[in-house]
Chain A
């Protein structure tokens, strides 16, 4: 029911988008009708531009998020389990938390250039935080009787960490990863817009700068829909992983 209602809302929006420029309510060149955007999208897809730039972007985001998941999990669980790790990383995290990660775009570009490395580093840095916070809070929330159960069933300390603490932390950890996924797209596109030679963000900037607005909107919509699909698929994955709840 709610799904149907959401669908109707989108349909009405699409209709308005199509009609408003055609009826002269908004200027055709600043907001092209949806059908024109769709045709431009087909052109982009056929020429291969969408794929070339899209795959470059996808690789950057995937690499950055993958690094963030591994590093964030290790840091977060480590902080919960060992005081020295907490002493080192907690102030770092607290200091880094309020920093707008996009402010680091020029820094990573300066250090690592205009290519993949600067984007991947930026995404990894930004996404570590939500993953580590999720892992840390989740691990801290692990009941001591669960840890004790593991220990009394013959698991050593490290083994208990892997077999008991990590699964306990999983719901919050996976929630942190969801935030990281959304954040990775933000950082990806903004860094590509500012300093890059390819990628979807670069394509948006290039098309916008050249006044090819229907194609620019096509790329923007592609990213928006991609983000939505990733989030939906991820939620489905999380639900299957956490089916024991």
Chain B
């Protein structure tokens, strides 16, 4: 990794490399058409380094997905600021790929057409787009299912297709909104392993939203622990896990880290529940 040249904006913990995503003073108020408004996010400050994998961890309603959508440019920033690679975020763009929990594949397009869509928008010639899509589809293990529609695939396969559709554009930022939350335990574990492999092959800044402590520690360099109502970052923990050991999940360091963060998540004296 390159040396850190840019100062941490928030002091939220040691991001490695230069700052890729900088969120500062971000407050987001959710105003439903009926009922009371809710402060979904309250004064969020965080930075994510180049090629860093961070997890946003917290109970449902803590605003972690909202934070992700704001970074993605899907929701308007009203108070505070978000910049990615020095540019303020204004609207969605292919530099920030996103994977949703329920896949969000275009159900009327085949796997191939889904994966090719972003390439076509980029203006790539059809033949080149096809070749790149085929390569990406093979990388996520969907070779042979190019002509299937999403409705014909299992949950795990749909998520592979969705990941391929996003990664084929080689975004510098990857946003993931509980991407494995709808999958069974076995598939989830397999997808986690493959995601790490894909990330190592083509490193990028990853923001991964989850409510699963084990998953957060398994995947991320740093875990941002959030609390609910209003959504705040209450702790930032570097996992410091050496993933070169294939059995690292069984290591004492891993188990203790999960334990430590589990307590951070669940000790909510001010919590309403």
Which of A's residues lie within 8 Å of B, judged by CB? 143, 145-146, 148-155, 159, 163-164, 167, 170, 243-245
Complex A-B, nearest 9 residue pairs according to Cβ-Cβ distance, in ascending order? A154-B121, A153-B118, A145-B104, A151-B92, A154-B94, A152-B92, A244-B149, A149-B104, A167-B108
Residues of B within 8 A of A (CB): 69, 72-74, 91-94, 96-98, 100, 102, 104-109, 117-118, 121-122, 149-151, 165-166, 169
B178 CB to closest chain A CB, in angstroms? 12
Q: Chain B residues near A146 (CB, 8 Å)?
A: 104, 106
Contacts of A150 in B (CB 8 A): 106, 117
Partner of A148, one of B74, B109, B122, B169: B74
Find chain A residues with CB under 8 A from B102 CB: 145
Q: Identify which of A153, A163, A167 gathers the most chain B CB atoms within 10 Å of its CB.
A: A153
Whether A154 lies near B122 (C-beta < 8 A) is yes
- A153 surroundings in chain B (CB, below 8 A): 94, 117-118, 121, 165-166, 169
| A154/B169 in contact, CB under 8 A | yes
With contacts defined as CB atoms under 8 Å apart, how many contacts are there between chain A and chain B in the complex? 64
- CA A189 – CA B31 in complex, angstroms? 52
Given A148-B92, A149-B104, A244-B109, list of 6 further CB < 8 A pairs? A150-B106, A152-B92, A152-B166, A153-B94, A153-B121, A244-B150
**Judging by beta carbons under 8 Å apart, are A151 and B122 in contact?**
no
**Does A148 contact B121, Cβ atoms closer than 8 Å?**
no
Q: Could you jot down 16 A-B contacts, CB within 8 Å?
A: A145-B102, A148-B69, A148-B98, A149-B100, A149-B105, A149-B165, A151-B74, A151-B92, A152-B94, A153-B94, A153-B121, A153-B165, A153-B169, A164-B106, A244-B107, A244-B149
Q: How far is the CA of A26 from the CA of B72 in the complex (A)?
A: 75
- Complex Cα spacing A143 to B107, Å: 11
Residues of chain A contacted by B73 (CB below 8 angstroms):
152
Closest A residue by C-beta to B117: A153
Contacts of B96 in A (CB 8 A): 152
Question: How close is B137's CB to chain A, nearest CB, in angstroms?
Answer: 16
The distance from the CB of A55 to the nearest CB of chain B, in whole angstroms, is 36
Return A168 CB to nearest CB of chain B, in Å: 8
